[in-house]
Copies of this chain bind each other. A is one copy, B any other.
Amino acid sequence: MSAAASHDHTKEHVCWGGGCKHTQHHRLEVIDLGVQYQEVRALEKINFATECGRSMALIGPNGAGKSTLLKSLAGLIAGDSGKILWRGKPLTRSSHEIAYLPQRGDIDWNFPITVRGLVEMGRYPNLGWWRQYSRHDADIVERALTSMELRDLQDRQISALSGGQQQRAFIARALAQEAHVLLLDEPFTGLDKPAQENLSRLFKELTAEGRLLIASHHDLQTVKGNFDDVLLIRRHQIVFGPVAEAFTPANVASAYDNPDQAIRN
């Protein structure tokens, strides 16, 4: 079951080959999702549905459950109630169509790999174990490196990078994957202003190509310009909807300014 085979509509695209411009859009549905860690209830009754071609901001205070939700969508942790449907089917862990950027990876920074090697890893889901790494793949990697301004650093070992450069390398890996769905946990972390703006621009391009993009972050000011939808959570779902409707001061206030600090634990 290779990724290419399931992308039966790839031909229409010029760049970022894996998106989907077609009439019947692919839906991601989350129904009544709940997640528990030992004694901590991290998420409860999360419900939303979105589809490719849209971008969604995941907003909430620290400990609201944003990372938990993204990990569930990436198939890395299992919820204890509810379900997640992608294209109508339950999500499996190794869905080739999903790219995930962790908030804090457990990286062995001394691993003998260069920036380019790291980005090339993103091609894995498309190549599988065997397929030859082609000119086409090299082009995609090249583009991901360029878009994150890593061309000059491509032969550096990954520990010989600054914090922001590392973050860019991991974003480039997620881009090179050319996934249908991009799950990005605080992607702007550590990026300088120009890189942040660059990434915002990229988000627009990605959704224009027909990808589905979900990103958590803390900068409330950039929600309006950058995203179509917003999901405000604080363990429970506060609101989900198009930014214009859902991202109201009242809703934001009810996510953050609560005299009851209970959510923070």
The interface of chain A, by Cβ under 8 A from chain B, is 37-38, 40, 60-68, 103-104, 106, 109, 149, 152-153, 156, 160-166, 168, 185-186, 189-196, 218, 220, 256-257, 261-262, 264-265
Contacts and interface: CB of A to CB of B under 8 A. Distances in A.
Contacts of A60: 192
A196 B217 CA distance: 13
Given A37-B160, A152-B262, 12 more contacts: A38-B160, A61-B195, A62-B164, A62-B165, A63-B161, A152-B264, A163-B186, A164-B218, A186-B190, A189-B190, A191-B218, A194-B257
A194 B195 CA distance: 25
A36 to B, nearest CB: 12
A262 B161 CA distance: 14
A261 B256 CA distance: 40
30 contacts: A38-B160, A40-B160, A61-B195, A62-B164, A62-B165, A62-B191, A62-B195, A63-B162, A63-B165, A64-B162, A65-B162, A66-B162, A67-B163, A149-B261, A152-B264, A152-B265, A153-B264, A156-B265, A163-B186, A164-B218, A165-B264, A186-B190, A189-B189, A189-B190, A190-B218, A192-B218, A192-B256, A193-B218, A193-B220, A194-B257
Q: Please give the count of copies of this chain that the complex contains.
A: 2
Nearest to A40: B160
Nearest to A162: B63
